[in-house]
């Protein structure tokens, strides 16, 4: 385990961020799902991510709603604390390398997710969405996506319809920008 080094510990995200002001962020932060200060788990993940570190959430109890919320906020994985040390070490390595740690518990929670989700968009629909939502005109987005203006307009209508079908109505360009951010589409139409 020479490639893994514990650089600090903190009881709260606030304490962690205060210490971070003094140096560079670690590659991975192991973050307990439920902290003693009763802060919101997804908010904790978002704050740690904003500081530059990747997050691996750990917990004694798999609270499905909070686990899903932390993944939605950018956590790269989730493990319960009953795993052996070598499993944790492998998960930290995977997250540090830019991957995800999908434990059996997380896979189960994801498979049972009854929340509304991301619609299934074609690669062309994603390309037009991610070209248009950040701000360009539809004509510029069509050029960037490599399609005709009328085709781009049709793709956006399909995207809006698909979001409505999954319970997330998307009527305006601001709504589309929100969906790109919420669903973590990057500017190439891929999931981040």
Which CATH number characterizes residue 39's domain? Answer: 3.40.50.2300
Binned at pLDDT 50, 70 and 90, residue 164 comes out as confident
pLDDT confidence of residue 111: 64
- Mark which of 56, 84, 111 sits at the end of a domain: 111
pLDDT confidence of residue 110: 66
Binned at pLDDT 50, 70 and 90, residue 141 comes out as very high
- As a whole number of angstroms, the distance between CA 88 and CA 56 comes to 10
Q: Are residues 21 and 100 in the same domain?
A: yes
Q: Are residues 54 and 91 in the same domain?
A: yes
Tell me, yes or no, whether 97 lies in a domain: yes
pLDDT in tens, 24-79: 899 999 999 999 999 999 899 999 998 889 999 999 877 777 887 788 788 888 89
Q: Which percentage of the chain shows pLDDT scores above 90?
A: 39
Q: Are residues 21 and 93 in the same domain?
A: yes
Q: Are residues 88 and 22 in the same domain?
A: yes
User: Is 155 in contact with 124 (CB distance < 8 Å)?
Assistant: yes
Strand partners, 55: 29
Higher-confidence residue of 185 and 99: namely: 99
Q: Are residues 131 and 66 in the same domain?
A: no
Structure-token pair, residue 156: 């956006």
Strand partners, 171: none
- As a whole number of angstroms, the distance between CA 90 and CA 88 comes to 5
CB count within 10 Å of CB 50 equals 11
pLDDT confidence of residue 192: 43
**H or E segment and range at residue 6:** none
Q: How many residues does the chain have?
A: 192
Tell me, yes or no, whether 8 lies in a domain: no
Tell me, yes or no, whether 127 lies in a domain: yes
pLDDT confidence of residue 130: 92
Q: Are residues 24 and 59 in the same domain?
A: yes
pLDDT confidence of residue 166: 79
Report the pLDDT averaged over residues 146-173: 89
Strand partners, 59: 80
Higher-confidence residue of 179 and 186: namely: 179
- Mark which of 89, 111, 133 sits at the end of a domain: 111
Q: Are residues 20 and 105 in the same domain?
A: yes
Structure-token pair, residue 151: 């085709």
- As a whole number of angstroms, the distance between CA 158 and CA 133 comes to 14
Would you say the pTM of this structure is higher than 0.85?
Answer: no
| Total domain count, the chain | 2
Binned at pLDDT 50, 70 and 90, residue 186 comes out as low
Domain assignment of residue 172, given as a range: 123-182
Binned at pLDDT 50, 70 and 90, residue 181 comes out as confident
- HSE, CB side, 13 Å, CA atoms: give it for residue 187: 7
pLDDT confidence of residue 125: 92
Structure-token pair, residue 145: 């996506």
Match 């004509």 to its residue by tokens: 139
């Amino acid at each position: 385990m020479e490639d893994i080094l514990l650089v600090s510990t903190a009881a709260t995200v606030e304490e962690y961020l205060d210490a971070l002001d003094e140096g560079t962020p670690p590659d991975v932060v192991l973050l307990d799902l439920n902290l003693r200060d009763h802060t919101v788990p997804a908010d904790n993940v978002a704050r740690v991510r904003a500081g530059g570190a990747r997050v691996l959430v750990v917990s004694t109890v798999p609270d499905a709603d909070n686990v899903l919320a932390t993944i939605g906020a950018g956590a790269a994985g989730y493990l319960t604390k009953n795993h052996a040390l070598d499993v944790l070490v492998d998960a930290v390595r995977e997250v540090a390398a830019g991957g995800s740690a999908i434990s059996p518990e997380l896979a189960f929670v994801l498979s049972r997710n009854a929340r509304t989700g991301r619609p299934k968009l074609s690669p062309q629909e994603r390309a037009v969405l991610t070209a248009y939502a950040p701000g360009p005109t539809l004509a510029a987005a069509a050029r960037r996506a490599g399609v005709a203006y009328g085709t781009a307009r049709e793709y956006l209508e399909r995207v809006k319809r698909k979001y409505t079908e999954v319970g997330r109505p998307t009527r305006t360009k601001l709504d589309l920008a929100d969906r790109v951010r919420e669903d973590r589409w990057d500017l190439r139409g891929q999931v981040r």
